[in-house]
Structure 1
Amino acid sequence: MLVNKPKLFEPANPNKSTSIINGLSSGILNWDDIKYKQIYEIYKKLLGKFWTPFEINMAKDAKDYKLLTENEREAFRNIIGLLSILDSVQPKFLALVTDFLSDDSITACFIISAQQEVVHNHSYSYVLSSVEQKNMQDIAFQAARTNPLVYERNKIITDLYEEAFATRTFESLLKALTASIILEGINFYSGFAFFYNLARNQKMMATATMIQYINGDELSHTHLMSQVIKLLILENPEPMKDFDYEGFTKNLFKEAVEHEIIWSKYALRNIEDITLDEMTDYIKYRANKCLSMINIEPIYEGLEKNPMTWINAYLNEGETKGLTKTDFFEQKSREYAKISEDNGFDDL
């Protein structure tokens, strides 16, 4: 089934879209008249997450960076470079997906998510420029073109993105959205673990705070993507009859996990306190968790709980909550949502 590009404005159609793709919609978004009410809740959570890297003072980290071991600095540069690659591709993908959508409420959420990914990408530049010399920054940001491990790891995602935009079919769109869950819900996490490990040793705390903000955004994006996937499947029973989506998804996740494990063993090979076997189980745990969000059974047995329990101090594992952070300076719950009609100062 081909996916048509909706018109920007069609006054003959209703304001409430009739479906996510190939639907009738005027192009006028009225949040009190949308097809799926849960999308409004996601929209509000995304809005509550506005932040910029300038809010975080990197002065202390600039001093800490000089005290890191050479192995830690190498991993720091490699992982920052990797994360910047992911967040260079993702905002363009999210923006282009809106060209498929006839539901304006979902389009709005994708636009906000794309903007947040741009901020994430800038954050990595901001962090590295605060602590490292220009020539070393340039090397870190060349990783996608010079490191085959990074290229092969990313290629399975970007190939599916490119296929969706080239063919504009329902099946290719669903595949690309599924690949996006892998990028947002798995590919970032070995990198995040490295920065959280520094933080638990009282190193590079400002960087870890930035990563924690980014991590929370990625959880919300994964939640949005999983909701859209499930709704697309619900709305399109006919094209789903000839598509073994579960089989495709399990195979894709297995391949992605294999690449992620190879990358993690390379990037974290000389880092104390992170056991590579434990990291392998953590990646598989993340895969199981993401699969559960799209109603697919786990593919790795015995990994129902996070095997790297120390990371829980820095994570909000409830993808549907989205806003709560853990302040690891004080080890207490914190929210960075702005004041609104739904909360007050006592709720922050």
Structure 2
Amino acid sequence: METLTRVKVLEPAHPNKSTAIFGGKASGILNWNDLAYPHFHNLRQTIRSLFWTANEVDMTQDVKQFSTLTKAEQDAFLKIIGLLATLDGPQTTIAMKIADYTTDPSVKSIMATIADQESEHNHSYAYVLSSVTDLAKQMKSFEMGRTDEVLMRRNSRIVKVYNEFAAQPTIENALKSMVYTTLLEGLFFYSGFAFFYNLARNQKMVGTSTMISYINRDELQHGKAISDIFRAALAENPAYNTDAFTEWIYEQFKHSVEQEIIWSRYVLVDIAGIDLDEMEGYIKYRSNKMLRMLGLSEIYPEFTDNPMKWIRAYVDNIDDTKTDFFEQKSRQYVKTSDLNGFDDL
């Protein structure tokens, strides 16, 4: 396998329009009106239009409510924030690494935009925790990703694939890292998201849930962008479009679904209002959606429809009507100029 080289900043002898996503030629001059894949401009525009920052979300009521949650809810809250931080931190890095090796400047720009948003996601978890609990519990939550055995087993394959791309940046490893990026963006977060949405529909921790909705909305668009780039890169490199690679993808999806189900039953077992069988169906439904985005067939034909209907009120769907968060009666989005709205306490 040929190892990709880090792309130079400028190559004036090369054309402005990239000749390939990986291993091609491009000057480094980005003209959005002269792209190899014109719709990549729309991908970036959509992602950019979602801009938000964590400290715009009012956490006043969450500060008051956290201590009133049940012990099971508090434990799940901290564990799930730990999971999300564990996954979103590396997402900033992997987007930047893909940017380092892509020879298409429009892809580089998209990855830079995604990296910036993932960085804000990671910041938002620290913001939430600093709002609702003490420093010791904040630190413990962020230690979850390297100390909790269930979480470590769950994340072991994504760690392997990402680190293999970092150590050996080949086209094959770039494709594999994008498969896992779509899994992360479109599947790995969703039992955690469901937990926060379940709190919100019971009028609990609405500020946190609102922020999670914005993160969820971002992740859906990131997954769409990465899957489009993956399909374009695979079409450019048909030698990798093999039955063996397709089977590898299916096997990773099946494994990831299994691990997400194990995780959901571990972290949500004592949470009132969440049916774990329904959650399992939702995970399989999400898996089918992400496979379709990659251009592959569904592996769970009995879950082509969303079995967790109530969650639609909280989630932006790429192929469904988008929720206007300002119109949701069960949540409020309030910009505040002071950190966490403490002046309102």
Range of TM-score over shorter length: over 0.9
Q: Which residue number corresponds to residue 213 of structure 2?
A: 212
- Encode CA deviations 1:281-303: one digit per residue, 9 max, x unaligned: 11111111100101111111210
Contact 2:18 2:103 in 1 (8 A): yes
Q: How far apart, CA to CA, are the structure 1 residues paired with 2:327 and 2:141?
A: 27
Q: Which amino acid aligns with 2:29?
A: I
Shift of 1:187: 0.6
Q: Which residue number corresponds to residue 59 of structure 1?
A: 60
TM-score under structure 1 length normalisation: 0.91
Q: How far apart, CA to CA, are the structure 1 residues paired with 2:6 and 2:262?
A: 39
Contact 1:313 1:326 in 2 (8 A): no
Q: Which amino acid aligns with 1:312?
A: R
Q: Which residue number corresponds to residue 237 of structure 1?
A: 238
Q: Which residue number corresponds to residue 45 of structure 1?
A: 46
Q: Which residue number corresponds to residue 30 of structure 1?
A: 31
Contact 2:54 2:120 in 1 (8 A): yes
Q: Which residue number corresponds to residue 291 of structure 1?
A: 291
Q: How far apart, CA to CA, are the structure 2 residues paired with 1:325 and 1:264?
A: 28
SS at match of 2:300: coil
Q: Which residue number corresponds to residue 340 of structure 1?
A: none
SS at match of 1:32: coil
Counting aligned pairs with the same residue, the percent is 43
Q: Which amino acid aligns with 1:61?
A: D
Matches within 5 A, 1:1-348: 1-2=1-2, 3-241=4-242, 244-318=244-318, 325-327=324-326, 329-330=328-329
Query: More relative contact order in 1 or in 2 (CA 8 Å, sep 6+)?
Result: 2
Q: Which residue number corresponds to residue 342 of structure 1?
A: none
1:180/1:270 CA distance change after superposition, 3 Å: same
Instruction: Note the residue ranges of structure 2 that are not aligned, 5 or more in a row.
Output: 334-345
SS at match of 1:39: helix
- Encode CA deviations 1:206-260: one digit per residue, 9 max, x unaligned: 111100000000001000110011101111123435x622101100001111111
Contact 2:203 2:330 in 1 (8 A): no
Q: How far apart, CA to CA, are the structure 1 residues paired with 2:77 and 2:236?
A: 44
How many residues are aligned here?
A: 332
TM-score under structure 2 length normalisation: 0.92
Contact 1:313 1:331 in 2 (8 A): no
Contact 1:314 1:328 in 2 (8 A): no
Contact 2:95 2:114 in 1 (8 A): yes
Contact 2:26 2:103 in 1 (8 A): yes
Shift of 1:162: 1.1
- Encode CA deviations 1:24-69: one digit per residue, 9 max, x unaligned: 1001111111111110001111111111011011111111112111
Contact 2:288 2:297 in 1 (8 A): yes
Q: How far apart, CA to CA, are the structure 1 residues paired with 2:92 and 2:6?
A: 19
- Encode CA deviations 1:152-202: one digit per residue, 9 max, x unaligned: 111111101111222222212111110111111111111000000000001
SS at match of 1:212: helix
1:85/1:128 CA distance change after superposition, 3 Å: same
Shift of 1:5: 2.7
